[in-house]
Amino acid sequence: MTGIWITVGIAVVLVIAIIAIYNAIINRANAVERAWANVITQERQKNKIIPHLEDVVKDYKEFEQGTLTKVTELRSALQGLDSGKVDTAKLEQAEAKTGELLKSLNVTVENYPELKASETYQKLMREITDQQENIGAAIRIFNQNVEDFNNGIEVFPNSLVNAMLNRKEKIKTFSDSQAEEGFEYKPNI
């Protein structure tokens, strides 16, 4: 009789452990989705600033067409981001477009010193800089949540529960390939 109770006790503990692991995997997946949505929210905030910047700069007679093209490309890349689907490749593309636009704006400002003196321009550039910092922070949080999620589905016994019940796939962290090119060190993972 005691053997039956021990067996039942072990089975109950095992079921509770499986449920706890299953729920932990779901919680981590939801944290990744929330962090991704925060990244997209920050990108969209930047997208709201761009048209105002474009209006300020358009007032200058010989404004470079290339910069206007970069604004359009950035807007297009930002609109391609979807808060419902994690797509780090599209985010990387949007961040690359942002970098190209900022470089182009710096060249334009050098050609038009009166633009640099404009309070509106300076305010908008500060807003974009602040927004880029917010995006960087959101990406760091996203990558941390991705790491926690990936660890949660790869470690034993979680990997068994995931294989049997959740079937969640490993998520790719965001990485900036342009920034990575500047580093000689590459970890051998």
- CA dihedral 68→74→77→78, nearest 10 degrees, is -130
CA distances 150 to 32, 83, 146, 153, 173, Å, are 10, 20, 6, 5, 10
What structural domains does the chain harbor? 2-171 (1.20.1440.20)
Please write the tens of the pLDDT for every residue from 79-123: 777 777 788 888 888 888 888 877 777 777 777 777 666 777 778
- According to DSSP H, which parts of 59-87 are helical? 65-79
pLDDT band at 187 (very low <50, low <70, confident <90, very high): low
Nearest to 44 by CA among 108, 98, 89: 98
Please write the tens of the pLDDT for every residue from 130-144: 888 888 899 899 999
CA separation for the pair 98, 116 (Å, rounded)? 19
Higher pLDDT residue, 179 or 170? 170
